[in-house]
Amino acid sequence: MDFTTGATLQAVCEEKKISIAQAMKEREMTLGNVTEQSVMDRIGVAWKIMKDSATTPIAEPRKSIGGLIGGEAKMMKEYRESGKNLCGEMLSRAMSYAMGVLEVNATMGLIVAAPTAGSSGVVPGALLAYQEVKGVSDEVIYNGILNASALGYLLMRNASVAGAEAGCQAEVGAASAMAASALVEMEGGTPEMCLNAAAMALSNLLGLACDPIAGLVESPCQTRNSIGVANAYTAAEMILAGVKLPVPFDEMAEAMLRVGKSLPFELRETALGGCAGTPTGCALGCKICKK
């Protein structure tokens, strides 16, 4: 079992009448020569790390090494619990969790790079909030992770998941596409709908610059992860409602790579443009460097 594009993934799923999660699981078993139990055990370990990294900073906020972030996940939780939040229960939780994972990453803690450290909050944030609000089992979430992994694999293979190569659209954009696809599958959507949700999530963040202040994966990376979950939910909901993006996933992945390569180097993780290049971003960069 192998697939190398969204189109071949969809064809395999339709021919065998299986989900994207099942196709990814079978691929792992075949290429890794491992049992189904072994694959699921590894997914279980990843989910535990994801959950810990999403929730620990809410209980124990940490200041990042560069000092630009720390405590935001807890602030988001407290605001949600005040009853004044604008975004609704699931999205507010997801934002808080996604931002928490970035706090763990920025303090050299353990995260799951899904697909990268800078975008590691999106998939756990989206899935954990979904699990808590919908009350679904870990098994449902494991399938979501398998689904997201398939999309991450395709983007890594056929486009890019590196901010230095293709901007933040390739990191937070890819993570958001992975989460959107997983949400659609967990909600009963078809493989075609999952791929279209991923394409829509990519299209919504097309052109997003990579511009970390002081070159640290702290700001705006943390808040970008909360945008990543919002975009994932938005794309998933539109697809589930029957809205379609006319551009197929494979073409959108190619477009993302082309747009990324056409970004000036200042907007590809060099910390010279965007937020990093503002007077305040430069001043913070100098201050952190002198520490």
By CB under 6 A, name the binding residues for ligand SF4: 118-119, 163, 168, 171-172, 210-212, 217, 221, 224, 269
Alpha carbon distance 140, 19 (integer Å): 12
The whole-angstrom separation of Cα 253 and Cα 156 is 10
Q: Which is nearer to ligand SF4, 182 or 221 (CB)?
A: 221
The least CB distance from residue 282 to ligand SF4, in Å, is: 16
Q: Considering beta carbons, is residue 22 or 64 the nearer one to ligand SF4?
A: 64
Chain centroid to CA 172: 6
In angstroms, give the least distance from the CB of 220 to ligand SF4. Answer: 6
Q: Which of residues 118 and 124 has its CB atom nearest to ligand SF4 in the complex?
A: 118
Beta carbon of residue 173, minimum distance to ligand SF4 (angstroms, whole number): 9
| Alpha carbons 244 and 217: distance in angstroms, whole number | 33
Distance of CA 217 to the CA centre of its chain: 15
3-state secondary structure string across 242-265: CCCCCCCHHHHHHHHHHHHHHCCH
Largest CA distance in the chain: 59
CB of 211 to ligand SF4, least distance (A): 6
Please, what is the minimum distance in Å from the beta carbon of residue 224 to ligand SF4? 5
Q: What whole-number distance in Å separates Cα of residue 38 and Cα of residue 69?
A: 37
- Residue of 163, 241, 240, 232 lying closest to 199 (CA atoms): 232
92 or 119, CB closer to ligand SF4? Answer: 119
In this complex, which beta carbon is closest to ligand SF4, that of residue 39 or of residue 172?
Answer: 172
CA distance 258 to 72: 34
Whole-number minimum distance, CB 97 to ligand SF4, in Å? 16
Report the C-alpha gap between 286 and 289 in whole angstroms.
Answer: 5
Min separation Cβ 232 and ligand SF4, Å: 15
Q: What are the structure tokens assigned to 140, written together?
A: 């449902």
In this complex, which beta carbon is closest to ligand SF4, that of residue 152 or of residue 189?
152
- Which residue, 131, 249, 95, 231, is CA-closest to 171? 231
φ/ψ of 83, rounded to 5, equals 85, 0
* Beta carbon of residue 140, minimum distance to ligand SF4 (angstroms, whole number): 28
Q: Is 20 helix (H, G, I), strand (E, B) or coil?
A: helix
Distances 130 to 32, 90, 95, 157, 219 between C-alpha atoms, Å: 30, 6, 12, 28, 25
Measured from the CB atom, the residue of 191 and 228 that comes closer to ligand SF4 is: 228
Cβ distance to ligand SF4 smaller for residue 50 or 221: 221
